[in-house]
Structures are given as structure tokens and as C-alpha cells.
Amino acid sequence: MDAFARDSYPDLLKVKGFVTEITMKVLGLALLVTGAHGYSRLLPLERHFRDARAHLLHFHTMETGRNMLGSILQV
């Protein structure tokens, strides 16, 4: 399956949205558990949180992706 095929684009947007939202929820809970230590660069959690936040803005923002997905599915 070609990852860049036009008909697979809605599926890619769905997967990106799902993975990003779940990742942010899990990391948010992990930061709640670890408290201020989670934001320390001594733990890998800070890097994981920073990398996950980058996916919210990389290529298309989540809101733009949802709008594109909605317009594709309406057709």
C-alpha cells in the first residue's frame, strides 16, 4: 500500500490524530504522577512530552487535519 496515495490520506489523518491525542493523554497522566520531577531534563519524560507536542504542529496542525478530514469525508 502506497503511504502517499490520495485515497489513504483520510486514514493517515485519522491515525495521526488518534495517536497524538492518546500520547498526550498518557504523557499528561505521567507528568501528574511524577509532579515537577517530570519536567526535569534528568528524566526521559520531559523529552517524550516535548517530542509529542511537536507532532501537534508538525506538517498540519491537529485542527487543520480535522478540517481536511471532514472535507474529504463529506465528498
In this predicted structure, the answer to whether residue 29 has a pLDDT above a threshold of 90 is yes
Task: Retrieve residue 12's grid coordinates.
Answer: 493517515
The verdict on pTM exceeding 0.75 is no
Within the chain, residue ranges assigned H as helices are 9-34, 44-57, 62-74
The model's pLDDT over 36-66, given as tens digits with 9 standing for 90+, comes to 888 888 889 889 888 888 877 766 666 777 7
Model confidence at 1, in pLDDT bands (50, 70, 90)?
very low
In this predicted structure, the answer to whether residue 12 has a pLDDT above a threshold of 80 is no
Alpha-carbon span 69 to 74, nearest angstrom: 9
- Tell me the average pLDDT of the chain: 79
